[in-house]
Structure formats: structure tokens, C-alpha cells
Amino acid sequence: MDDKWLTRVCRSIEPLREEAMAAARERLDSLTKPPGSLGALERLAERLSGIAGAMPPPLGKKVVVVMAGDHGVCEEGVSAFPQAVTEQMVLNFLRGGAAVNVFAKHAGADVVCVDMGVAATIDHPGLVASKIAPGTANMTKGPAMTREQALSALSAGVELVGRLAGDGVRLIAVGEMGIGNSTAAAAVTSALLGVPPEASVGRGTGVDDAGLARKRDAVARALAANGLAAGAGASGPEGALETLAKVGGFELAGIAGVCLGAGVYRVPVVVDGYISTAAALVASRLSPHVASYLIASHRSEEPGHGVVLDALGLEPMLELGMRLGEGTGAALSLRIVEAAVDVLGSMATFASAGVSGKLE
């Protein structure tokens, strides 16, 4: 994998199809409801048509992709839980016992768990094996990963979407598992948006005040150690790749690849919480059209999540005070996305139902 590959992938991502979006707008205004009365669902239906280049867009199989990886920055005491929980939760996903499994079941979606860089060796037939390395290096002391590793992880994400699309998957929810990764998400957010650690760092799994101070300090030191202080030099595609490699994580890079894959294969990707959205921000900096292929599921309790959603121009559908990750918010949102599509295909029009239109 090299830079040329990434340039080629990013250049292949086209804008949404205007014609299908115009057809969706026209259809929405002909349906038996006051124009615009389905709010964000109408904007979503329009965008989904533009993504698929079809009106109505096809409904098909859906999956929840959970990308997992470990983080060297855990050495700095930035999480309320030990690093071993990453592997333990991956096994829990594979057994079907995690929150994301429950929500995916309610959405009628399969869970696809991907090892992007878990420290432990996990040998399980249900796990997608894409391990780049057993955990990142401690970003407070230097780059979390090499540029080549970041490119390989991006590529694994793009390829996964290609395989899923080939299997008939038409809607993807994406989430993550990786103890310490809310610190990586904060570092990425600070580097790319130039916001101070006070605005990007939250409590993650629930660190106390001392833990919060350690996290902020770790992010500040990681940015300084990697020459990324306060957004300096982190602009454009090159800055995004550099930021991802220096202060990201293997699962963040995999998710960024899934977001690129959304654009390449024209499959909508529903992003989850703070960590997934920070990864989506990286993808949107790599290729300008990516954000239009992404759907924001919810706004998590992490204070940085809203900052990143705003930067992406994405409007979350739910606000439930959740702060779990895994893909839980994204999984919960899948039925809403399907309902938005079904409005286009199944609602009667004023003409077909004999309902009077708006008074002139």
C-alpha cells in the first residue's frame, strides 16, 4: 500500500448523484404529508438516493462493523479500565453478549468484528483478521504507528466495504472497541480542528478528575511529541494521514477506511460515537466528498463528539446520553435509516390516495 493507492482511492470518490436526489425531492413533495414534515428523514431520504444513484435507493442486507485495536497510550493511565478489556470485549462480541449485539439483533443486522490491532492473539473463526500490529506505540513518546501501517489499515477498511457490498450489503453501521481510544480520538480532534485538549478530552469509560487531567496532559504531550500542536501542519489530505498515523489508532484507521469505502462503493455508512466520528473526520479530510456518504447516528455524552459532528456538517438523529461506543448508536439508527428509505417507496401520493393538496 502506498500514497499512490490512497490518491487513486480518494480521486475515485464522486459527489452524490444530483438526478436521483432531485427525483427524491420531487417524490417527497408528492407524498401524503405537508412538504418537509418528516424533517431530517426527508433530507436523509434525499441523500440516500444520491448515494445509491437510485430513487428509491435499494434496501438490502445491513451489518454493524466493529473495529478493534489496542493503544500504547494506555501506559499513561488514561482509561478507567485495563487494556485487557479490548480482547475480552472482542470475545464478548463474538459470543453475542455485548450491547452492540443486542441492538444489531433489533435492527436485523449481523455484527462483523474486525481485529485491526488488538494486543492479544485471538484465534476465532468469526473474527475478521486484519491485525496491522499488536497495539499502537505510546503516542506521547512518538508516532502511534508508521505511515505504512496507517495506509494498510485504511486499505483494510476500504476492502472490507468492497467485500460486504459484493455480498449484497446496502447499509453499514460502524463502531469500535479499544481501551484508551477516546484519548486517541481527542488527539485527532485537537490536531485536525485546532481545539485545545480541554475541548476534545472527555471522561471516556468514566475516569475521575485526576484521570481527566492525565488524559488532557497525555493529549497535549502527544501533540507536542509529534509536532502536531494546535492544528499546525495538519491541514489537507497529507495532514490527515500524518495525524492518523501519529496520534490515531489501528481501529480508527480501519474506520476511516470504511468511510472511504462508503464513497468508493456508494454504500451509506452510519457512524457511531466520538471515536468513530473522529475517524470519519480523517476520511473527510482525505477526500472532500466522503462526508456526504456518512450518516450521523447519535450525539454521545463525550463533549468532543458535537465538535466533530459540527466540523463534518452532520446532523445526529438521536441524543440518548449514551457514551459506550462499539457501534451501539449506529446500530440503533439502522431502522430509522430504513424507514426513511421506505417512505420513498411505500407512502401514497396525494394523487394516488385522493388527498387534497395544500391551499394555494
Q: What is the contact surface with ligand NIO in residues (CB under 6 A)?
A: 182, 204-205, 272-275, 300, 302, 305, 323-325
DSSP class of residue 338? H
Phi-psi label, residue 169: left if phi above 0, alpha if psi -120 to 50, beta otherwise: beta
Is 130 a binding residue for ligand RBZ by CB under 6 A? The answer is no
Given 49, 101, 136, 182, the residue binding ligand RBZ (CB under 6 A): 182
**DSSP output for 115-131:** EEE-SS----TTSEE--
Q: How many CB atoms lie within 10 A of CB 2?
A: 11
Given 101, 130, 138, 181, the residue binding ligand RBZ (CB under 6 A): 181
Known catalytic residue at 46: no
Q: How far is CA 243 from CA 239, 259, 283, 313, 322, in A?
A: 6, 17, 11, 21, 27
Distance separating alpha carbons of residues 175 and 114, to the nearest angstrom: 10
8 Å CB contact between 120 and 73: no
Q: Using alpha carbons, select from 264, 4, 262, 254 the residue that is nearest to residue 152.
A: 254
Closest residue to ligand NIO, Cβ-based?
273
Total of residues contacting ligand RBZ (CB under 6 A): 18
102 binds, among ligand NIO, ligand RBZ, none (CB under 5 to 8 A by kind): none
274 binds, among ligand NIO, ligand RBZ, none (CB under 5 to 8 A by kind): ligand NIO
Residues 6+ apart with CB under 8 A from 211: 77, 78, 79, 80, 203
Distance separating alpha carbons of residues 172 and 296, to the nearest angstrom: 12
Tell me the window of 22-30, 48-56, 107-115, 172-180 that interacts with ligand RBZ (CB under 6 A).
Answer: 172-180
305 binds, among ligand RBZ, ligand NIO, none (CB under 5 to 8 A by kind): ligand NIO
302 binds, among ligand NIO, ligand RBZ, none (CB under 5 to 8 A by kind): ligand NIO
Tell me the window of 81-89, 152-160, 237-245, 288-296 that interacts with ligand RBZ (CB under 6 A).
Answer: 81-89
Quote the least distance from Cβ 302 to ligand RBZ, whole Å.
9
Based on CB atoms, which residue is closest to ligand RBZ, 177 or 337?
177
Is 117 a binding residue for ligand RBZ by CB under 6 A? The answer is no
Quote the least distance from Cβ 231 to ligand NIO, whole Å.
22
Q: Of these residues, 159, 301, 326, 360, which one is catalytic?
A: 326
Given 85, 133, 199, 229, the residue binding ligand RBZ (CB under 6 A): 85
Quote the least distance from Cβ 32 to ligand RBZ, whole Å.
42
HSE on the CB side for 258, CA within 13 Å? Answer: 34
Is 212 a binding residue for ligand RBZ by CB under 6 A? The answer is no
By the 10 Å C-beta count (0-12 exposed, 13-18 middle, 19+ buried), 18 is classed as exposed
Distance separating alpha carbons of residues 144 and 251, to the nearest angstrom: 12
Is 248 a binding residue for ligand RBZ by CB under 6 A? The answer is no
Catalytic residues: 326
Binding residues for ligand RBZ, rule: CB under 6 A, are 79-81, 85, 89, 176-183, 204-205, 324-326
